[in-house]
Amino acid sequence: MKENKQIVLYEPKLDDLWFRQECNQDPNTMSYNAGYDLYCDGYHFETGCIDFPKAMWNVWIEKIKNPNMFFAYIQDEKTKKFVGYVNFRKDEKSNSASVGILIKNEFRGQGYMRPAMQKLIEKARFQRIDALTDNVPENRENALKVFYDLGFRKIEEFSQLKFGKKELVAKISLQL
Ligand SMILES: CC(C)(COP(=O)(O)OP(=O)(O)OC[C@H]1O[C@@H](n2cnc3c(N)ncnc32)[C@H](O)[C@@H]1OP(=O)(O)O)[C@@H](O)C(=O)NCCC(=O)NCCS
C-alpha cells in the first residue's frame, strides 16, 4: 500500500528560490506546459520551461508578498526535500482564487498531490476565500481525480490549442 505522504507548505525565502528555478527549467517537469500560446517573458514553447534567472528573484519574492497571492513549496516532512510547489491568486472582486500545483518530475506518482492540495485548501479557508478554481486539461486524469475527490466540480468546459491542436479543458471550482 502507498504510504501517506506527510508534507508541510513552506513559504520560500530568497535563498530557497533555486528550487523554483530547478523546476521551471526542467523539461521533464515542464512538458505539461509546452505548446501553448503563452505570451509571458522567458516561456519556451517547445519545452514549456520558463526562465527564472537569479537576477529575477528579488523582484519575484517582493511580488508574492502581495496579500492576494500565496506561494509555497511542498516539503516532505520526513526527508525535508522540496518536491514541488502550490500557489493561489485571489481575485478581489469575486473573492475566489485560482490555484496551481506542480510536482517536480522525479517526485511524481508518489502521492504528494492530495496532501498538498488539502493543505492549500486549509490555507485558503483560513484566508476566508469563498471559492477555488482551476483550468485542467481533461487528459490529466490523475490530477482531475484528486480534485474531484476533494470536492471540486466541473463548472464549464472549453478548448484551447496545444501545439496547434484542440485540447479540452475542464474549469473546476470548489466552494469553501
Ligand atoms: C498533476 C500532478 C500535480 C500530480 O502530482 P503527483 O504527485 O504525481 O500525483 P499523485 O502521486 O499524488 O497522484 C495523483 C493521483 O493519481 C494516481 N496515480 C498516480 N500515478 C498513477 C498511475 N501511473 N496510474 C494510475 N493512477 C496514478 C494516484 O493514485 C493519485 O490518486 P490517489 O490520491 O487517489 O491515490 C503532477 O503530475 C504535476 O505536477 N503535473 C504538472 C502540472 C499539473 O498538471 N498541475 C495540475 C493541474 S493544473
Atom of ligand 1 nearest to the CA of 102: 39
Decide if pLDDT at 86 tops 80. yes
Residue 170 binned pLDDT confidence (cut-offs 50, 70, 90)? very high
pLDDT at 39: 81
Mean pLDDT over residues 69-79, rounded?
97
Percent of the chain whose predicted confidence (pLDDT) is above 90: 93
**Do 78 and 6 contact (CB within 8 A), yes or no?**
yes
Query: Does pLDDT of 111 surpass 90?
Result: yes
Average pLDDT on 59-69 reads: 94
Pick from 103, 110, 135 the residue to mutate for probing ligand 1's pocket: most ligand atoms within 8 Å of its CB.
103
Task: Output the DSSP codes for 21-46.
Answer: HHHHT-HHHHGGGTT-----TTB-TT
Residue 151: Cβ within 10 Å count: 13
Cα 150 from Cα 154, distance rounded (Å): 12
Own/partner pairs for 145-152, CB < 8 Å, 24+ apart? Answer: 146/113, 146/114, 146/117, 147/117, 147/172, 147/174, 148/172, 149/114, 150/114, 150/117, 150/118, 150/121, 150/174
Q: Are strands 82-91 and 96-103 parallel, antiparallel or unpaired?
A: antiparallel
At residue 37's C-alpha, the angle toward residues 32 and 40, to 5°, is: 90
Query: What is the pLDDT confidence band of residue 54, given thresholds at 50, 70 and 90?
Result: very high
Mean pLDDT of 68-73: 97
Q: What is the pLDDT of residue 2?
A: 63
- What pLDDT digit, counting tens, does each position of 25-41 carry? 999 999 999 999 988 88
The tally of CA atoms less than 13 A away on the side-chain side of residue 155 is 12
* Ligand 1 neighbourhood includes 103 CB (under 6 angstroms): yes
* pLDDT value for 38: 85
For the chain, list the domains and their CATH numbers: 7-129 (3.40.630.30)
Q: How far is the CA of 131 from the centre of ligand 1 (A)?
A: 22
What integer best gives the mean pLDDT of the chain? 96
What distance in Å separates the CA atoms of residue 132 and residue 119, rounded to the nearest whole number?
A: 13
As beta bridge partners, residue 71 has 87
pLDDT band at 144 (very low <50, low <70, confident <90, very high): very high
